[in-house]
Structure 1
Amino acid sequence: MSSPPTSAEAAATTETIAVVGTGAVGTALAAWFARAGHRVVAGSRTAPERPVVVIDEGDGPRAYPVRWHTDPAQADTTADWVFVATKLPHTPAAAKWLPALVGPTTRIVAAQNGVDHRERFAELTTVPVVPALIYFIAERLAVGSVQIRHADPELVLPDDEIGRQAARLCNDSGIVAETEPDFTTQAWRKLLINATANPLTVLTCRRLEVLGEPPVAELALALLEETVQVGRAVGARFDESSPSEALARLQAFDPHGTTSMLQDLENNRGLEHEGLTGTVVRLARRHGIPTPVSGTILALLRGLSVNDRARDTI
């Protein structure tokens, strides 16, 4: 990870950055931007005792100041950037913050899972939205506190004007970000990981080590093969080796690592299966592609979620 800017550099480039949704990803982003000297506003339904975010990157916890709001009415200024880091089911709740935070020059970064970021926000706002793929692994320890496992890069954004602007903001703040000309393929490569690791860890109630067991690995490969077929139908560039390469990547992850959906299950939060496995099945039907394994996994996840206590909150 690159070094954060010096205080002098930060003073010259300070921006107001709002982070809506303070789960693992949102808390990490808020901490990184606050560390770089930006004015950070955190929007969430709950707040820690102190107006700080605490991040542990392997060298012990460190706290950085933020302005913490639990109601959009508390926001007294618009932001230069709004990073929406809510879970997919909570996107409508995130939209309630936008009128208070978005001004004529505000740009929105959708730091969420899935492959349809811009479409998701099309009916919610008229300001520019840039999708972001998150590759660092974060585990929320408490409200406003997160533990990080770094990746290189940490974020991937599209190689267009607003994507390059967001990448410069991140890199200047010490967050490793890259731009990708073929963002469609990159987003589907991420979906390969998310639509496999998340459901299988949830349905087995185990961490990533479960993907090393032969029967689960066989099931994972079947999911990957179906997702690759659907991705090709919508323009992602995959070859015959893509499923096996994705499985090898999954099995190379830290076996003690978790997934965002498993964390949601353990904390009785709503699951993101509709935006992950549900997207695969929905697009498969549109293109006439059979997805029996993904369809079965989706049915099980929907059954598991019948008694979700998640509400339209963040």
Structure 2
Amino acid sequence: MSSPLNSARAAAPPETIAVVGTGAVGAALAAWLARAGHRVMACSRSAPERPVVVIDDGDGPRAYPVRWHAAPAQVESTADWVFVATKLPHTPAAAKWLSALVGPSTRIVAAQNGVDHRERFAELTDAPVVPALVYFIAERLAVGSVRVRHLDRGDLVLPDDENGRLAARLCNESGIVAETEPDFTTQAWRKLLINAAANPLTVLTGRRLEVLREPSVAELVLALLDETVWVGRTAGARFDASSASEALAWLRALDPDGTSSMLQDRENNRGLEHEGLTGTVVRLARQHGIPTPVSDTVLALLRGLSTSPAGSSR
């Protein structure tokens, strides 16, 4: 895959784009969009010493200028696009940012985990929301600084509807490899398959993705995947008998030194996203009377971990 930072700059005129949440994913998006020549507002309570984002996309660290805003009151204009890259528990806190950034023609790209992107923003804004599945691995190095690893597919997957296609065009013209998918429900659940296995088990073991290659852990992963596939089918995902085993093979083929977003949160004493991942599987399973004993156990452990002193959010 070609590096987005080596791609041509945006063919269309520069747009005003806000990125709310400048953790690993948000910093990467802000860097790529600024690299393409867009006017980027980075919206986060924390800001680096210099008004830049730094990204290492495989060719060494490079810095790109952005306008940093530490509070919604500092926002001077609305944006054409708002990319929300906050963690799931922090989505409600984005409401104040959206009230300052959203104008009559603003579109929102929700670059977050989970399968209910539009639903979680319904009470926050009337602006069109484009759900985005993130398929690059971003590791936060410091405030506004990130290292990115690309996987064997595009960086973002978006729904194949009018707003999804507009967002994909913006991304691709900016060097961010974006694909549109007609069956977005299935794709969102495929991503949840990955997140509901890799995130919890890296956190609970305190190890990187290499842990998924151990036979005993792989058995546990497959059990989680089987339960998630069953629940996903009830939600409209088109899974078949091989979906769980294919997801396991994909996970075990990842760079063993890679990390997960939830493990990074745990290591940096930030709140975990388990309620939006494993919690979603368990909640929907109970609604449909589906037994999920392995997911139930993993969720209980994650809840206990998140309330321990080392796992509490700052």
TM-score over 0.5 (shorter chain): yes
Q: Is 1:185 matched with 2:186?
A: yes
Please point out which of 5, 8, 17 is paired with 1:5. Answer: 8
Partner of 1:131, secondary structure, is: strand
Q: Which runs of 5+ in 2 are unaligned?
A: none
Partner of residue 278, structure 1: 279
Q: Which runs of 5+ in 1 are unaligned?
A: none
Q: Is 1:47 matched with 2:50?
A: no
CA shift, 1:59, in A, is: 1.0
Partner of 1:95, secondary structure, is: helix
CA contact (8 A) 1:4 1:35 kept: no
Partner of residue 214, structure 1: 215
Q: Where in structure 2 are the equivalents of 1:91-170 lying within 5 Å?
A: 91-151=91-151, 152-170=153-171
Partner of 1:96, secondary structure, is: helix
How many residues are matched? 308
With normalisation by structure 2, the TM-score equals 0.96
Q: Deviations over 1:142-168 (max 9, x none)?
A: 000000102320000000000000000
Letter in 1 for 2:212: L
Q: Where in structure 2 are the equivalents of 1:169-248 lying within 5 Å?
A: 169-248=170-249
Task: Give the whole-Å Cα distance in 2 for the aligned partners of 1:310 and 1:161.
Answer: 38
Task: Give the whole-Å Cα distance in 1 for the aligned partners of 2:46 and 2:7.
Answer: 28
Structure 1 vs Structure 2 CA RMSD: 1.0
Task: Give the whole-Å Cα distance in 2 for the aligned partners of 1:85 and 1:66.
Answer: 16
CA shift, 1:310, in A, is: 2.0
Letter in 1 for 2:78: T
Aligned sequence identity (%): 81
CA shift, 1:309, in A, is: 3.4
Task: Give the whole-Å Cα distance in 2 for the aligned partners of 1:247 and 1:95.
Answer: 36
Task: Give the whole-Å Cα distance in 1 for the aligned partners of 2:246 and 2:312.
Answer: 37
Task: Give the whole-Å Cα distance in 2 for the aligned partners of 1:194 and 1:305.
Answer: 17
CA contact (8 A) 1:111 1:132 kept: yes
Partner of 2:186, secondary structure, is: helix
Partner of 2:269, secondary structure, is: coil
With normalisation by structure 1, the TM-score equals 0.96
Partner of residue 78, structure 1: 78
Task: Give the whole-Å Cα distance in 2 for the aligned partners of 1:96 and 1:266.
Answer: 28
Partner of 2:196, secondary structure, is: helix
Task: Give the whole-Å Cα distance in 2 for the aligned partners of 1:99 and 1:304.
Answer: 34
Task: Give the whole-Å Cα distance in 2 for the aligned partners of 1:266 and 1:196.
Answer: 18
